[in-house]
A and B are shown apart, each in its own frame.
Chain A
């Protein structure tokens, strides 16, 4: 509790004691009225004061004014009519208790969201003249070597120059598996160093580091308002004046027309005033969105605004880029088809003959073989451009390359059925088989498509610049509905526009890309989702939603979060409006009292806040 809240609590207690004392003392007439004043002023002086000050500023319909009018009115009906003084004090007391609870709940939820994003580093260790010093991360320049001890958070982005360790990236990606880093690997700010001491060369100033960017993004997310939020602010602007005017009408018209006592109607009008504050709605809607965005960021899903969270719930078409989005974007050995030797022998021969080349294909062969070639085994290596490689391996002439190369050599080869880049190998003019190298789909890609369909995505489309066979085989394997291949970046924009025209009025189109050359498409789609990777600036800039761990299955997770958040928003709006409407109708008919009115104001606000907090936790699958 803040000191302001503590003070309020004390006032509430004192006032409650004074109120009880006043009720118990048996005095009649005007003395009784005076007895209740201390309790009333203890609890309500600030409300009265603010009401007066705000009227002088031209702020007529604020809640202080409404509460002041309602309670003073209650006193008056007590003084002149048959009303009761305790009611006026108790309404004010109840109102302040509600306000206190509301401020406490909002503060608590604000803190719990803030702690989710508690990745801001406080200091960086830098070695100066052999002594380790703690300095502000903002004072570190690019090229400085910082020291990250085990248990500390990396304060800036950089490259490991000394040491090796495991990094906990959970705060950034939601991924619980630690990432191993050694010399030459990149370290992203915000990760926690788990085991070894690291010396890291800083590559970006603090303002451009991943942590700063993420914090900036999340802090700014509340400025992009969802439609539901705008609706509520607009609604509040009309709601209060309308209710206040009806209150005046209710107090004046019926007694004039029907005749009879004023007291009863004035009391009903006062109830209207208490209900007229739109606070429950105005607080709970942005709070729900903030909670949803906070909960998503805990999962490594950064949403740039409530409006995108809202749009995602209505997504109906999901368009994917292939390389780097659904596939890993790394070439790997996908299959070996030996002829007259074992798979391991074929792989070893292929890896050895390619060992002098630096082509991505050679690297993937070396990775698959998993060993370093012993010196002397490979001699006379020569690269034949557009065909392949020829070298002597263990004394035998080995040729490895495409089918054209095999034809030129006069070697009979078997054409390969698997889609990908085939490397045919011939040893001393004898065909030894082929190795297929392909970009592999991400582990969770097929699951991601399945989950999205279960979440109600009607159409999944893949766009790729890759060859027809490759694109179609990936699309079939993952279960996409449609695929368009051999597209240039400009063609992708055109295709997305075509799909945008084809979708239904209310449905939204989301494009998922890796942000490298599809920035125009990301901004053209209703929702641009980027594989942010760890620290890719282009993606973070261009997209509306960023997946920090590059996992396509997180999109379904994001959709679940967005649906749930919107559900909570809707519950709050309906609940608050229904209770207020009910109390208004009942009080107009004279069937409601002040208590119910105060509940409809602060009670509903507190319940709506508690409901909004659910947006923070993860939805069930």
Chain B
């Protein structure tokens, strides 16, 4: 399943790149992009565990940039 999320207060381009790399490494995530320009996160992940994976993604992003929020 592929889903898009808006990101609020994503302020640094380097952080976006770091988040993208970190999200891609999460188990169950097939593909992910963090677009700094569009302030948007696109995740492709396993259907059955999507919510659980999203929780992990939110945690991962918080680690990189504590200010940034993912609107779910």
Interface residues of A (CB under 8 A from B): 4, 50, 53-54, 57-59, 62-63, 99, 103, 110, 113, 219-220, 222-223, 233, 236, 277-279, 282-283, 286-287, 290
Contacts and interface: CB of A to CB of B under 8 A. Distances in A.
B15 A287 contact: no
B14 A236 contact: yes
Interface residues of B, number: 19
A283 B63 CA distance: 20
Contacts of A62: 14-15, 64
A279 B40 CA distance: 19
A286 B37 contact: yes
Interface of B: 9, 11-15, 17-18, 33, 35-40, 42, 63-64, 66
B38 A219 contact: yes
A236 B37 contact: no
Contacts of A50: 66
A277 B18 CA distance: 13
Nearest to B59: A57
Q: Point out which of A50, A99, A222, A236 has the most chain B C-beta atoms below 10 A from its C-beta.
A: A222
A222 B36 CA distance: 9
13 contacts: A4-B9, A50-B66, A57-B63, A58-B63, A110-B37, A219-B38, A219-B40, A223-B35, A223-B42, A233-B17, A236-B14, A277-B14, A282-B13
Given A62-B14, A286-B13, 20 more contacts: A54-B63, A54-B66, A58-B63, A59-B18, A59-B64, A62-B15, A62-B64, A103-B11, A219-B38, A220-B42, A222-B37, A222-B38, A236-B14, A277-B14, A278-B14, A279-B12, A279-B13, A282-B17, A287-B37, A290-B37
A173 to B, nearest CB: 23
A236 B11 contact: no
A110 B39 contact: yes
Contact of B66 (A53, A58, A113): A53
Interface of chain B, main secondary structure: mixed
A284 B40 CA distance: 18
A113 B66 CA distance: 27
Nearest to A53: B66
B28 to A, nearest CB: 19
Contacts of B33: 222-223
A283 B11 CA distance: 10
B20 to A, nearest CB: 8
A211 to B, nearest CB: 17
A63 B66 contact: no
Given A53-B66, A219-B40, A223-B42, A283 B13 contact: yes
B24 to A, nearest CB: 12
Contacts of A222: 33, 35, 37-38
A277 B12 CA distance: 11
Contacts of A99: 11
Nearest to B32: A223
A454 B40 CA distance: 39
B63 A59 contact: yes
A233 B35 CA distance: 13
A234 to B, nearest CB: 10
The 9 closest A-B pairs by CB, nearest first: A57-B63, A283-B13, A223-B33, A282-B13, A222-B35, A290-B37, A282-B14, A233-B17, A222-B37
